[in-house]
């Protein structure tokens, strides 16, 4: 018991030290570090984070550095520790698997601000952030529902985790809000990055009559396959229109620059504290890529309106009634789904033809 | 099930099987001469990156395929020097070649990630392609699909109808006997190994130039290993390589169709994804149970170094 108290006291002291030292400011020569899970390339998850980094440099004038292609393992710990040792004042780690390593390092460098994307563990000097990707998915669903002629939509998905299911369900809910006949077929490829398989899955969906397809995987193979077959597709993460100029209707994209600027400014001003941020349209974290001219002007205008409503909070993709595939009402009319329920999503909504693999 | 669905399953099956056929037939020739090269995965990766890079710079997919072939041959040449001239262990060297090729291709390919190529269209054979159901699947395909069939026919003829083929088999069965009647065992094995490397390179470039026209690290994703398993699966017979490759491609494609169709299946998709590999293992086990089949067909000197007595 005594030991426990002592430990608590030490922790409290450490906590105080953190607050005071981080608030002690940010010298002109201080830098900001970024850890990326894949090469930057010119489309995709890491590319979007790097755009945010460039915006941060431009708007705040701070110097940044990054390490790309860092595996989600003990390498990450080494890279994060090096950055902290070298004197990076703020470190952003942009992949889920860095969570435990960052937490571990953060305890050893109480004067540094650590910020981790898409995780759920926080610390005395470690905050987390993520984006409401499903808001963009909902809009692409509305476009898909209007653009489909066969009423069959297709989705190539990586792993059945809540974030991916939110995207799938928002997509079909958006589609059925304008086209109650729309149905969605889902194929799991059990990989984030396997262009061969993603392409094969896309071809399969199109041969099963899907004429608008999208993906929650990281390559551009699905958009390319749709272009080849003369069907429509949506990009994800980044604008992928160069991979399929005709097929690419738009893309559900995410943007981190504003958040990075705000975080660094907070640290500079000495009032940063670890937070959990789940930002959407209203925070500028989610938006659509330019709309393809193939989308009729009337629909484009409607989408622009819905974007405003997402920003103002009038529109919530998971507002009731939310009915799942088996007819069970998950959210009653008039209510909206809580963040907790969103984060535990493990079912398909009505309109999805495929069956979710049983756990 | 309507006929267009059957056609599209067939098309997808043939496409998925083609790189396996090309690579496995190349390995079959090498193994028939007594050389076991487990480096197919690495040679394919190098073929894929070389094919992509050259196609990207020249805009000509044929230069890409040639470059892929050259890269595969270069890799197999390294292997041949170690195991044939320096008498290294074939299994260990092959494994090293796989790891080396996958790593080196990732390194070389860095600047090409997220670049794109023009899609190469299929070649339609008039009249034959109009046959219902089968026509579009068999006669409106990528040119490397036709190449894989020509390669098959060529190899059957070479192995069983030509004199050099007979010599090659003799070298694999009994290098000492072949040597004693005046054939240069090591040179013949060099050539067979280089041919295997060339085919692995072409198979790799098929993936990056024709199948999914893009390059990413690790895109071969185990196809080299499957090709090696296929040769055993086929008990070193070309026709069975063909059947096995399409069987494998079929299982791979069928599981995607089942998922998309929304059939009620209480099987995790992870299990379905592993089905093709499982099928390969099961067939290997069944074949291996009958020792005679394996013994009768396996080249006797497979994997053994040969040092000609001076």
Whole-model pTM: value is 0.78
What pLDDT, in 10s, does the model give residues A193-228?
778 888 889 999 998 899 999 999 888 889 999 998
Res A19: pLDDT: 45
Position A269 pLDDT exceeds 80: yes
Res B139: pLDDT: 81
Domain B3-297 has CATH 1.10.3470: yes
Res A124: pLDDT: 93
Question: Could you tell me the pLDDT band of residue B282, with boundaries at 50, 70 and 90?
Answer: confident
Give the whole-angstrom CA distance, residue B40 versus residue B51. Answer: 16
User: What's the mean per-residue pLDDT of chain A?
Assistant: 88
Query: Is A186 within 8 Å of chain B by CB?
Result: yes
Collapsed DSSP state (helix, strand, coil) of residue B141: strand
Among A24-28, A122-126, B75-79, the minimum mean pLDDT is found in A24-28
- From A166's Cα to the closest Cα of chain B, the distance in A is 19
Q: Please answer yes or no on whether B267 and A186 come within 8 Å at the CB atom.
A: no
Average the pLDDT over A138-158 and give the result. 96
What is the maximal distance between C-alpha atoms in chain A? 72
Res B309: pLDDT: 67
Query: Is A353 within 8 Å of chain B by CB?
Result: yes
- CA dist A173 → A138, A320, A325, A327, B231 (Å): 7, 11, 11, 14, 48
Res A189: pLDDT: 87
Q: Please answer yes or no on whether B5 and A208 come within 8 Å at the CB atom.
A: yes
Query: Is A201 within 8 Å of chain B by CB?
Result: yes
Position A359 pLDDT exceeds 70: no
Among A13-17, A60-64, B14-18, B33-37, the minimum mean pLDDT is found in A13-17
- From A232's Cα to the closest Cα of chain B, the distance in A is 17
Q: Where are the domains of chain A?
A: 25-131+256-283, 133-252+318-343
Question: Could you tell me the pLDDT band of residue B141, with boundaries at 50, 70 and 90?
Answer: confident
Range with the largest mean pLDDT of A23-37, A200-214, B289-303: A200-214
- From A261's Cα to the closest Cα of chain B, the distance in A is 28
Query: Is A122 within 8 Å of chain B by CB?
Result: no
Phi and psi torsions of B122, nearest 5°: -90, 165
pLDDT > 70: percent of chain B? 92
What pLDDT, in 10s, does the model give residues A305-330?
999 999 999 999 999 899 999 999 99
Question: Could you tell me the pLDDT band of residue B27, with boundaries at 50, 70 and 90?
Answer: very high
Position B51 pLDDT exceeds 60: yes
pLDDT, greater one: A92 or A158:
A92
Res B2: pLDDT: 62
Question: Could you tell me the pLDDT band of residue B146, with boundaries at 50, 70 and 90?
Answer: very high
Q: Please answer yes or no on whether A359 and B4 come within 8 Å at the CB atom.
A: no
Res B189: pLDDT: 95
CATH code, residues A133-252+318-343: 3.40.50.2300
May I ask the CATH architecture of the domain A25-131+256-283? 3-Layer(aba) Sandwich (3.40)
Position A16 pLDDT exceeds 60: no
Range with the largest mean pLDDT of A238-247, B44-53, B220-229: B44-53
Q: Which residues pair with A286 in a beta bridge?
A: A254
Q: Identical fold at A25-131+256-283 and A133-252+318-343?
A: yes
């Amino acid at each position: 018991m005594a030991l426990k108290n002592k430990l608590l006291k030490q922790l409290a002291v450490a906590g105080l030290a953190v607050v005071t030292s981080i608030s002690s400011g940010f010298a002109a020569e201080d830098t900001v570090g970024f850890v990326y899970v894949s090469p930057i390339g010119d489309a995709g998850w890491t590319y979007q984070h790097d755009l945010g980094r460039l915006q941060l440099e431009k708007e705040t004038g701070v110097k940044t550095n990054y390490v790309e292609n860092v595996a989600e393992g003990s390498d990450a710990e080494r890279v994060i520790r090096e950055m902290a040792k070298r004197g990076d004042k703020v470190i952003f780690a942009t992949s889920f698997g860095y969570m435990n390593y960052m937490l571990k390092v953060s305890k050893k460098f109480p004067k540094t601000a650590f910020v981790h994307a898409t995780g759920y563990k926080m610390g005395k000097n470690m905050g987390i952030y993520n984006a409401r990707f499903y808001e963009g998915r909902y809009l692409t669903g509305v476009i898909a529902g209007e653009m489909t002629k066969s009423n069959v939509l297709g989705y190539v998905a990586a792993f059945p985790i809540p974030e991916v299911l939110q995207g799938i369900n928002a997509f079909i809910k958006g589609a059925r809000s304008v086209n109650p006949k729309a149905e969605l077929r889902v194929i799991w490829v059990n990989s984030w990055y396997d262009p061969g398989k993603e392409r094969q899955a896309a071809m399969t969906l199109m041969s099963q009559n899907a004429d608008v397809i999208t993906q929650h995987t990281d390559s551009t193979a699905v958009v390319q396959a749709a272009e080849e077959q003369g069907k429509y597709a949506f990009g994800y993460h980044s604008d992928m229109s160069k991979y399929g100029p005709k097929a690419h209707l738009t893309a559900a994209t995410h943007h981190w620059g504003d958040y990075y600027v705000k975080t660094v400014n907070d640290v500079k001003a000495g009032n940063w504290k670890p937070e959990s941020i789940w930002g959407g349209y209203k925070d500028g974290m989610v938006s659509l890529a330019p709309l393809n001219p193939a989308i009729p002007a009337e629909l484009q205008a409607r989408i622009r309106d819905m974007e405003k409503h997402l920003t103002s909070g009038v529109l919530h993709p998971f507002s009731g009634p939310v009915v799942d595939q088996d007819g069970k009402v998950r959210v009653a009319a008039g209510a909206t789904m809580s963040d907790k329920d969103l984060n535990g999503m493990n079912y398909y909504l009505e309109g999805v033809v495929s069956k979710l693999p049983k756990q | 099930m309507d006929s267009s669905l059957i056609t599209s399953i067939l098309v997808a099956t043939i496409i998925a099987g083609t790189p396996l056929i090309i690579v496995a037939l190349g390995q079959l020739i090498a193994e028939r001469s007594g050389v076991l090269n487990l480096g197919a995965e690495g040679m394919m990766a190098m073929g894929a990156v070389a094919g992509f890079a050259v196609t990207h710079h020249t805009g000509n997919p044929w230069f890409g395929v040639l470059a892929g072939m050259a890269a595969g041959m270069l890799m197999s040449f390294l292997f041949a020097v170690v195991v044939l001239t320096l008498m290294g262990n074939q299994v260990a060297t092959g494994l090293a070649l796989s790891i080396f090729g996958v790593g080196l291709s990732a390194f070389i390919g860095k600047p090409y990630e997220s670049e794109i190529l023009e899609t190469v269209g299929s070649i339609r054979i008039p009249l034959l392609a109009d046959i219902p159901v089968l026509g579009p699947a068999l006669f409106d395909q990528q040119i490397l699909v036709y190449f894989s069939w020509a390669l098959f026919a060529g190899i059957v003829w070479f192995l069983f109808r030509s004199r050099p083929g007979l010599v090659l088999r003799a070298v694999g069965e009994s290098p000492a006997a072949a040597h004693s009647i005046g054939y240069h065992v090591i040179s013949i094995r060099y050539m067979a190994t280089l041919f295997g490397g060339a085919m692995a390179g072409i198979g790799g470039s098929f993936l990056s130039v024709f199948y999914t026209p893009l390059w990413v690290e690790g895109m071969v994703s185990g196809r080299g290993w499957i090709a090696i398993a296929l040769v055993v699966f086929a008990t070193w017979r070309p026709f069975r390589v063909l059947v096995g490759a399409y069987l494998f491609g079929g299982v791979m494609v069928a599981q995607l169709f089942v998922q998309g169709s929304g059939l009620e299946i209480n099987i995790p998709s992870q299990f379905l994804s592993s089905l093709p590999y499982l099928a390969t293992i099961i067939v290997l086990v069944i074949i291996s149970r009958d020792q005679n089949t394996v013994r009768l067909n396996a080249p006797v000197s497979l994997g053994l170094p040969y040092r000609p007595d001076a």
